Structure 1
Amino acid sequence: MFDDEKVRLIQAVPESDAILVIWIRLLVLAGKTNDDGLIYIQRNMPYSEEMLSTLFGKPVNVVRLALVTLEKFNMIDLNTDGSIAITNWSKHQNIEGMEKVREQNRIRAKKHYDKNKNSNVNLTLDLTETNATDIDKELDKEKDIDKEKIPYSEIIKYLNNKTSKSFKVTQKWKDLIKARWNEGQRLDDFKKVIDVKTGQWINNQEMNKYLRPATLFGNKFDDYLNEYRPQISSSISDEIAESQRKIAEAYEQ
């Protein structure tokens, strides 16, 4: 780690020791979260600077300086929803090993589930066996998702076409897309989010900079997706208006 060029450059800035300690603590938090380098307490609840200050035992202004410095060196990404993402997470963590941890946790949960089901004497053997296979089905479903070919290039290409930008298919963006994919999102969902936020931000100079994978495919993905409303053709819109007019006339009569 300390032979890394970026780390050596950080050692030359003020509060370098504190920044490096915070960097290591962030890596540990990301490993604890175990979600492709994302850092949060729970979904939709990111760490605030004050929380990190308490956890790390550092003043808030030092934590803020560390986050700004690490983002400047492209070591972390600060999402608009407040969550933090470690850039190139696979470089810092054994992804295969972390997946094994997740698999072990699922197996442990299954054993606990089976034990509780078997301890209920009121259940018949057939019912117990049926319920006990539910988690197996969920595990198989997750494995099927892993086998699917995720259209990284198509998603990034669609984003570039809509925003006139030129993002590359980097490991950082792959990690974000995979995280959403594993939650059940699919290509159409990514396109809907891109369409929604492009329509809102493309002509806004301040918000246009947030039309990037880190923002669109982060923890607020579901919120953005819920904003999607399909376009209604003018003819259908006219028909709806005419129906409403007739209903109003009938009510008055």
Structure 2
Amino acid sequence: MSDKQKKRYYWLKLKENFFEEDTIEWLEEQTNGKEYCLIYLKLCLKSLKTDGILARNVGNMLIPYDAETLSKITNSTVDTIKVAMDIFKKIGLIQILDGGEIYINQLNELVGSETEYAKQKRLQRAKTDNVQTLSSGCLENVAQSIELEKELEIRDKSIDILSDSSDDVPTEPPIYKKVIDYLNLKAKTSYRYQTKATQQKIKARLAEGFSEQDFYTVVDKKTQEWLDDADMQKFLRPETLFGTKFESYLNQLNSKPRQQGSYQRQSIREETMPESVTNPTPEAKLSKEEQAALDAQIAAWEASKK
């Protein structure tokens, strides 16, 4: 399959009653509500290829969008963006992740995608259906074509990482569960792999090209370093380990604990001290005349040295 055929197209799927849902209906009723709805849809479109996360990928870092950047994307004023984002957060349309990235909660339900190859095959089948009545032989050929198409899409890496559609072949158990179960085992924690924020962190790292084994390596290194440190234990959590510093953690050298030396107590030899040490003779005290003579002798010696 050529690179052109592998190219993936994304679109936003809205239910016919989208604007009749309580949340969207309430949003439209607010002052500038229709503009807020338009802003929300523009943000959904902007995050289609990043699985609902609004952030710029700069090197190995995810840089959250600020109000000024969002105003340029949506062609709205900064003040309008600030009010809109506050409302979106309060009514549950978005959430702010630990790294400051904006995550659109319902985007997975609104995304559709297909490869160029799938698009060509769909149009080809539609054309065939319109021209002739399918015989049993044609039906068999179409079924085989559909199976081939699904097999090729399963091999598409972008499906494995970014798509949660029913066309995917599920992994049993999913990578989220395996990674979080391993973290809980090593760090003696009890995190849930179903948490959306946790899954987004893992997805983001997979999208950057890291492997499943890399997650286990990071967990091993950081539990070895932090598990016995009362101040650092609290950072043995998904949002820290699998966040923007993931690559740094992965490439850090293993910190080996210092080996404690084994020392054998040596016997101490006891000796009898001389009588002059244990019972020293008191020093004789000089008389005034003797002290004066000694002082004069020292003064004369010092004068001779000048």
- Residue aligning to 2:25: 8
What's the offset of the Cα at 1:23?
A: 0.9
More helix by share: 1
State how many pairs are aligned: 194
Alignment of 1:144-155 (within 5 A): 149=171, 150-155=174-179
- Residue aligning to 2:111: 93
- Residue aligning to 1:185: 210
Compute the TM-score of the two structures, normalised by the length of structure 1: 0.55
In 1, Cα distance between equivalents of 2:230 and 2:42: 36
Any idea what SS the aligned residue of 1:2 has? helix
Q: Aligned AA for 2:45?
A: V
Asked if 2 retains the 8 angstrom alpha-carbon contact of 1:27 and 1:86, the reply is yes
In 2, Cα distance between equivalents of 1:232 and 1:189: 19
- Residue aligning to 1:123: none
Any idea what SS the aligned residue of 2:20 has? coil
* 1:59 maps to 2:77: yes
What's the offset of the Cα at 1:167?
A: 3.0
Any idea what SS the aligned residue of 2:35 has? helix
In 2, Cα distance between equivalents of 1:59 and 1:90: 28
Task: Report the structure number with the largest CA radius of gyration.
Answer: 2
In 1, Cα distance between equivalents of 2:226 and 2:86: 29
Alignment of 1:1-253 (within 5 A): 1-11=18-28, 13=30, 15-31=32-48, 34-43=49-58, 44=61, 45-94=63-112, 97-98=113-114, 100=115, 142=157, 149=171, 150-159=174-183, 162=187, 164=189, 166-170=191-195, 173-174=198-199, 176-193=201-218, 196=222, 199=226, 203=231, 211-213=237-239, 217-218=242-243, 221-226=246-251, 228-235=252-259
CA-to-aligned-CA distance 1:170-214 (integer Å, 9 cap, x gap): 56644542342343323443245557499499858xx97x9454x
Q: CA 1:101 to 1:230, structure 2 compared with 1: closer, same or farther past 3 Å?
A: farther
Q: Aligned AA for 1:38?
A: I
What's the offset of the Cα at 1:60?
A: 1.8
In 2, Cα distance between equivalents of 1:81 and 1:145: 24
In 2, Cα distance between equivalents of 1:8 and 1:216: 39
In 2, Cα distance between equivalents of 1:9 and 1:223: 44
More strand by share: 2
Q: Aligned AA for 2:27?
A: I
In 2, Cα distance between equivalents of 1:190 and 1:202: 23
CA-to-aligned-CA distance 1:19-50 (integer Å, 9 cap, x gap): 3222111001112xx12222334444443211
Q: CA 1:58 to 1:196, structure 2 compared with 1: closer, same or farther past 3 Å?
A: farther
Compute the TM-score of the two structures, normalised by the length of structure 2: 0.47
Q: CA 1:144 to 1:16, structure 2 compared with 1: closer, same or farther past 3 Å?
A: closer
Q: Aligned AA for 1:61?
A: D
Any idea what SS the aligned residue of 2:44 has? helix
In 2, Cα distance between equivalents of 1:13 and 1:88: 21
Moved more, 169-178 or 41-50: 169-178
How much is the aligned-residue C-alpha RMSD, in angstroms? 4.5
In 1, Cα distance between equivalents of 2:33 and 2:117: 34
In 2, Cα distance between equivalents of 1:62 and 1:41: 21
Any idea what SS the aligned residue of 2:19 has? coil
In 2, Cα distance between equivalents of 1:191 and 1:202: 22
Asked if 1 retains the 8 angstrom alpha-carbon contact of 2:56 and 2:65, the reply is yes
Q: Aligned AA for 2:177?
A: S
Asked if 2 retains the 8 angstrom alpha-carbon contact of 1:145 and 1:182, the reply is no
What's the offset of the Cα at 1:221?
A: 3.6
In 1, Cα distance between equivalents of 2:116 and 2:98: 29
CA-to-aligned-CA distance 1:119-165 (integer Å, 9 cap, x gap): xxxxxxxxxxxxxxxxxxxx979489777944211223345564845
Instruction: Name structure 2 gaps, 5 residues minimum.
Output: 1-17, 120-153, 162-168, 262-306
Asked if 1 retains the 8 angstrom alpha-carbon contact of 2:201 and 2:238, the reply is no
Instruction: Name structure 1 gaps, 5 residues minimum.
Output: 105-138, 239-253
